Amino acid sequence: MRIITLTILLINAILIIQAQNYLIDFAGTGASTNVDSVKIENLSQCTSLIIAGTDILNLTATVGISESGRYQDQVSVSPNPSSGHCSVVFDATSNNYVCFGLFDMSGQVVLQQKEFLPQGHHTFQLVGIPGGIYVLKIESGNFLYSVKLVSNATLKGSHVIKKAESAIHLDDQKNISEPREMKNMSSTKSIIGMQFNIGDTLKLTGKSGNYMTVSMLFPNQNQTVTFNFVKCTDADSNNYAVVQIGTQLWMQENLKATKYRDGSGIPNITDSATWANITTGAYCNFHNDTSEGTYYGRLYNYYAVADSRKICPIGWHVASNAEWNIMEMFTDNTVDTTALGGTGLFIGRMLKEGCNTRWQYYDSTAGWNSAGFTALCSNFRTTTGSWSLAPNNNHDDSFWTATPYNSNMAWNKSFRWCACDIYNIFIYNRAGSSVRCIKDQ
């Protein structure tokens, strides 16, 4: 009996946790304080949406429990379904501001209102609700009630929510702070819903003009996500998203530049024999396909990486072996930075792209991308000018570091389809690999 009781309590606890709702809003700092848009990618479910930077993201976890099930003892609506008019009864657990939000099934705000309420029992009237299915959320700093409403009204009315009993006098509101999430929920903002489970990893890409910044989020509370916008624009006017990993700011995309920083061109070498013999800077697109370079970035020989004209955007440089090591140890402390070959128990999974990917992998080696690095399966070019040797040419990638090994070779990092590690090795300068730049200190 004790085991059964504990099991039931555990299941109930899990259901309660999974029924959490979190409100996420956005701000900008650095080169811009405006957020034009935010792309939200749920890397655990491989779903995504794009919202305005002024919108509020409502993460709703509903797995294992109905929307109203958790709160059925604390809020009631009658009649439900209604003809557009119904009573809402609930308990406020403290003296505080309470926000009422009525949302249609697309997540758009139908009605929103804020009241200061004393602790205790309250009744409100919803009037003039158009026909449809809605979610009513009643939220304060220490409680959130949610219930589904159905209206069978055939005519559109002036929908309002009004108290059925007098609210507390304004003089009694002294020294009561307004919760942050209530301040941000103005009627000019839309609240956009997204299904979410506790433990999911979210990748948020904030955009402001030409600036793009990635922020990784593991939600467990209402919060503001602040994007630090930093310029990262190469000589071709390509603008790159950036991501903070530990103390370092990395380009979150592979370099696409076809020019050095001074505007002089980097030769595009398509012929295999020429590629195998050239000893000056060059780039190519994988399989000489320009669409590969557009999405996956260019492949460069080391001579281009080491050229004094520089290939990274102003304020950025090709990451050295030591700088890669710092990121590796921050991401996975099982990495041996002195090792040749594969090292680290799970760094490959943390850095490899996980959704909408052409990586081919075992279930045990698929990318999580939990650090936001987004290592693409960009492939490589060999010293003979042939393309990557993995099956079907679409299983691996490699990255140059700025650190030479000797006059003919340089340190290189790669991720493999069949492993969870990072592969440290030195390779010949004539090979073609991807490049990631890191912000100057």
Q: What is the CATH number of the domain that holds 106?
A: 2.60.40.1930
User: Strand pairing partners for 127?
Assistant: 160
Q: Let me know if residue 174 belongs to a domain.
A: no
Distance CA 385, CA 431 (A): 8
Same domain membership, residue 327 and residue 218: no
Same domain membership, residue 405 and residue 304: yes
Q: What is the CATH number of the domain that holds 212?
A: 2.60.40.1120
Q: Let me know if residue 304 belongs to a domain.
A: yes
Same domain membership, residue 433 and residue 297: yes
Q: Let me know if residue 98 belongs to a domain.
A: yes
pLDDT at residue 393 in the model = 65
Number of domains comprising the chain: 3
The answer to whether 191 and 184 are in contact (CB under 8 A) is no
Same domain membership, residue 277 and residue 215: no
Neighbours of 438 (CB within 10 A): 22
pLDDT at residue 100 in the model = 84
- Tell me which of 167, 185, 216 is where a domain ends: 167
Walking along the chain (441 residues) 10 residues at a time, the average pLDDT comes out as 41 46 94 97 94 92 41 68 85 81 74 82 85 83 78 73 52 38 50 86 97 94 95 98 98 98 98 98 96 96 98 98 98 96 95 89 90 96 90 82 98 95 98 98 90
Place of tokens 């039931």: 8
Same domain membership, residue 215 and residue 263: no
Same domain membership, residue 157 and residue 262: no
pLDDT at residue 175 in the model = 38
Same domain membership, residue 215 and residue 129: no
Same domain membership, residue 404 and residue 280: yes
- State residue 367 phi and psi, 5-degree precision: -75, 145
Same domain membership, residue 207 and residue 120: no
25-52 burial, b at 16+ Cβ within 10 Å, e below that, comes to bbebeeebebbebbbbbbbbeeebeebe
- Tell me which of 151, 167, 183 is where a domain ends: 167
Q: Let me know if residue 2 belongs to a domain.
A: no
Domain containing residue 285 = 231-439
Q: Let me know if residue 14 belongs to a domain.
A: no
User: Strand pairing partners for 19?
Assistant: none
- Tell me which of 167, 182, 213 is where a domain ends: 167
User: Strand pairing partners for 163?
Assistant: 124
Q: Let me know if residue 367 belongs to a domain.
A: yes
Query: What 3-state class would DSSP assign to 273?
Result: helix
Tell if the pTM clears 0.75, that is, is over it.
no
Same domain membership, residue 251 and residue 384: yes
- Positive or negative, the Cα torsion across 149, 152, 157, 162? negative
Q: Let me know if residue 178 belongs to a domain.
A: no
Nearest to 147 by CA among 155, 158, 139: 139
Q: Let me know if residue 417 belongs to a domain.
A: yes
Same domain membership, residue 247 and residue 214: no
Residues for the chain: how many in total?
441
Same domain membership, residue 224 and residue 132: no
